[in-house]
Structure 1
């Protein structure tokens, strides 16, 4: 299914697909692709309507990212990551909303959320220091949300630990330009961020534990279903959608390649029944992964839209489904790639780039299955997971 934003992006698909090759060298999105995303309103899909956003449903957001990632996995990934930040800003302090969007509601916000810095209270705000990795799309963003641990007067992490989400303008942090040289998702430009002794006023700081637990949304008085969804459901959705969309792109690239491929004897490989079986199975797996992820998004939406608060078990089941859907899609890409012959590994073959990109996406912390599967099983059995196991669920 298409969406209005995806329809606009499809009109620019040829250029986006061509620019994806250049992104491999630039290690970031091209300016043309970033402009196409901006013009289509991709990053505004989850943004509040009062600031020019669409307030789209999670399904619409996921379907749009999948369609874009099938064309260019890096563009899909950046959209999935950067596109979630307007959702969170929708329940941040109105002062910071106005600061970021008041003059330009097309302003993009980067992250990462990993608490790789320390914020020490000072004069109604915080003094922040740290270095963060993996700030996707950061070259095109003018603000950033950074995870940090609350520090004491000695500069060390306060006990018990408290996680914060700190919002900074571009003038208050440094992007490390040469910090993104990687195997896959090269075009995402997920560079390092450095903050040195920056003062952050209190209204730009959110309690990260409250954001993950839903208290921040409740305290902000959110009435819209979109902004009452669990953070642990919305944030992974964009990233997981990008990987599954890239898997769909890999399938399309594989089919295109096999249509003209011949074996050493000159026979058309596409007539090989073993290959046909593999294509049939892999395509079904990728479609199944897509339907799993979208169905999961619909179920969570229905729970919240009915006025209920999702239980921990429902959240855990949702995370399990997200993780499994991505592993299912990547496994299907592996099966296709293994049957593509030696020429598939050449740099000029599009298929190898998709293969690298889906595996890079699989390495994101939200797709690590161990803790998610174990916690989901404990919830099903009525067992109480430890606080550490509940993180991101």
Structure 2
């Protein structure tokens, strides 16, 4: 029987000076200067950028940071009047848009744990998520409204979000703490070098997934940027130019679906302001598009943009590996370099020669699955999360599909 080896690949790239990382007693790298909770970070940004647009829904509301925070605090007050408080679970079961964001923030501000019900689930699967999460309240219609309320008692190790996996018949709840979320936000802001001068991010990723909520919505808020949402795909082309978009975020599958219309409807002069394109590849997604061809099409459409490809899993807060267009990388095989506090290991009989199952650990990685100790035991070796992906790791830390 082949021996199963676990070979660690310590993080080689030093963290930026303003993002200090120190190794904890459990061996995991952690940020040392995080706010105690996600709500506190958002509160600081609301006061710093109160007059800026926070969320723009094309064909719907346009909310400044002040307006969004006030409306969310009234949702929190309404939840409190329904008996919802610290640690209760509030499911967000709404279509993507400004109301989704208000509901999500309202649940956070109430002290509850938002439960993200993934987009596109069948009614039966959505019911299973609601039952499995033991949701105490479901935000799925009119949002509750009460006196403005903010619960600011959360701590770093507290459960802050319940996010469900996708790509399987039975979605599994992933517990994400304030530290997981804040670490992921800090890592994305640093890796993508997000500016604080008014970023306008066209987010095409589903908000009810880690890739959309944790890796795009929250980092954009963290730098005082604007999240632009387009519920009607027919209005996508006009939005890029009219809303002065400078960042576009989607999965390879979504980009493949919308690119033909964008190419037909946009001239290069109207996309010159887009400086960042972020393609989020989830562990469970297998895009039908050819990655190399897709990267070329994106480069043709957005010639001034730096392209980023970010890889992750729900269990890693949606992040873990990234590579940009300035690297000489083959997009057909490359997943990226670890960033933030994410460290890697290989597991399997060939791990010593650089081939094996990819394992991740870091401040963004969940500690466990929700109410599923068997799955937790099966998918974790100590602090290492087993991704299930077979990869190779180059001497410089670049991860490729095997």
**Does TM-score exceed 0.5, indicating one fold?**
no
Larger relative helix fraction: 1
Instruction: Please report the TM-score for the alignment, with normalisation by the length of structure 1.
Output: 0.26
- Larger-Rg structure: 1
Larger relative strand fraction: 2
Instruction: Please report the TM-score for the alignment, with normalisation by the length of structure 2.
Output: 0.25
